[in-house]
């Protein structure tokens, strides 16, 4: 809390409310609520629980909560994740809102870290904590921005702190995505297109048990497929899957025009995988992947996405000093798949 107090002394403390959409899974939902009160209670105002027409067991659990900070609303009909979050945030007048899936467990007070990042960068509109040690183990490979966060171009809705007025000005989550999935990715594209930045903090750790409410059965698969198609119809450039092959160089060695081209692919929601003779010491954001040049890795990338078109490579970018055998193999692959190839000459570096 000393860090939080010091941070608050440098700018006006924002009012923060918590929103937790709940649909069944009473044990996990109660664990989430208990952990929020325990670890974040002194840093927040209200906790808005949006019960999305859960069963009687979950409803009884919520009615039995005795925390004075908790406000429970029982929706008469199941609306899905996006509408539930929109409705709950509409009842808040806080500066910033922390939204948590009900299968999240808070392990400590990570709000000072997220608040410091938001205060340091006025264009940072939303920031995620990290699931377990997923990012922490490789955080030193990513460029840290002011406030200690790592840039991301993919908004993930499992847990996030967001500027409430911006969320509402953007219309919140689009209800066309129904029960859930890809509504967060869609909002992320809209925020990025408006010039806002998004981040993940590698030191803010939570526990996340995915699929607690909806599972991973046939209904889930069909919903994801439908919403992915809707998302890609809106943002066709998000289908970009670019393979970059180079000799020994780093981000600092690239001309500004190429750096901007790489960032643009990721900013538009596309994927980028860069093959180099040795691993890059620094990556610009979470959507930049890097591997050492290897026949197995190259073949995996070339064959990826046979069952899902949006995962297939769409372009190959050849940078100076790319190995001759890689160029030869890619030339054949490009001809077979009719892919676009872009090449940069050594004179441009």
What local confidence, expressed as pLDDT, does residue 3 receive?
Answer: 46
pLDDT-based confidence at 12, cuts 50/70/90?
low
pLDDT at 141: 86
Q: Which of 3-7, 83-87, 277-281 has the lowest mean pLDDT?
A: 3-7
Stretch among 24-38, 132-146, 224-238, 327-341 having the lowest mean pLDDT? 132-146
pLDDT digits (tens, 9 = 90+) for 172-210: 999 999 988 999 999 999 999 999 999 999 999 999 987
Task: Work out whether strand 159-163 and strand 96-100 pair parallel, antiparallel, or are unpaired.
Answer: antiparallel
Is the confidence at residue 1, as pLDDT, over 60? no
CA–CA dist 74, 63 (Å, integer): 10
CA angle 280, 285, 290 (to 5 degrees): 35
Under the banding of pLDDT at 50, 70 and 90, the label for residue 65 is: very high
Confidence band of 140 (pLDDT split at 50, 70, 90) = confident
Burial class (CB in 10 A: 0-12, 13-18, 19+), 11: exposed
pLDDT for 180 equals 86
The mean per-residue pLDDT over the stretch 227-234 comes to 97
Residue 347 is predicted with a pLDDT of: 66
pLDDT value at position 213? 52
Q: How far apart are CA 32 and CA 45, in angstroms?
A: 17
Does 133 score more than 80 pLDDT?
no
- For residue 2, the model assigns a pLDDT of 47
- pLDDT computed for residue 70 by the predictor: 97
Across the range 97-103, mean pLDDT stands at: 97
Percent of the chain exceeding pLDDT 70 equals: 92
Instruction: Decide: helix, strand or coil at residue 154.
Output: coil
**What does pTM read for this prediction?**
0.91
Query: Cα–Cα distance between 194 and 190 in angstroms, integer?
Result: 6
How many residues would you count in the chain?
A: 349
C-alpha of 283 from chain center:
17
Query: Would you give the DSSP letter of residue 142?
Result: B
| 151 against 349, higher pLDDT | 151
Q: Which residue has the higher pLDDT, 13 or 45?
A: 45
Could you report the per-residue pLDDT of 239-267, keeping only the tens digit for each? 999 999 999 999 999 999 999 999 999 99
């Amino acid at each position: 809390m000393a860090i939080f107090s010091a941070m608050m002394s440098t700018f006006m403390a924002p009012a923060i409310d918590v929103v937790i959409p709940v649909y069944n899974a009473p044990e996990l939902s109660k664990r989430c609520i208990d952990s929020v009160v325990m670890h974040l209670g002194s840093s927040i105002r209200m906790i808005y629980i949006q019960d999305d027409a859960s069963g009687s067991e979950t409803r009884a659990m919520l009615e039995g909560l005795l925390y004075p900070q908790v406000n429970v609303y029982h929706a008469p009909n199941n609306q899905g994740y996006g509408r539930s979050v929109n409705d709950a945030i509409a009842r808040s007048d806080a500066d910033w809102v922390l939204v948590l899936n009900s299968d999240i467990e808070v392990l400590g007070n990570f709000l000072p870290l997220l608040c410091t990042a938001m205060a340091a960068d006025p264009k940072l509109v939303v920031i995620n904590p990290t699931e377990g040690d997923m990012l922490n183990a490789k955080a030193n490979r990513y460029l840290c921005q002011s406030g200690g966060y790592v840039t991301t171009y993919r908004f993930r809705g499992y847990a996030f702190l967001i500027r409430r007025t911006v969320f509402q000005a953007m219309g919140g989550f689009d209800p066309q995505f129904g029960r859930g999935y890809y509504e967060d990715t869609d909002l992320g594209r809209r925020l990025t297109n408006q010039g806002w930045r998004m981040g993940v903090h590698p030191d803010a750790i939570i526990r996340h048990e995915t699929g607690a409410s909806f599972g991973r059965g046939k209904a889930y698969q069909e919903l994801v497929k439908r919403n992915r198609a809707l998302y890609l119809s809106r943002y066709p450039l998000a289908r970009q899957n670019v393979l970059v092959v180079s000799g020994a160089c780093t981000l600092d060695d690239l001309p500004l025009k190429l750096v901007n081209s790489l960032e643009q692919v990721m900013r538009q929601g596309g994927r980028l995988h860069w093959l180099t003779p040795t691993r890059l010491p620094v990556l610009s954001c979470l959507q930049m992947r890097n591997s050492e040049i290897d026949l197995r890795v190259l073949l995996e990338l070339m064959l990826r996405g046979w069952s899902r078109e949006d995962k297939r490579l769409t372009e190959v970018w050849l940078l100076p000093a790319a190995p001759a055998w890689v160029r030869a193999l890619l030339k054949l692959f490009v001809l077979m798949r009719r892919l676009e190839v872009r090449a940069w000459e050594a004179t441009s570096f």
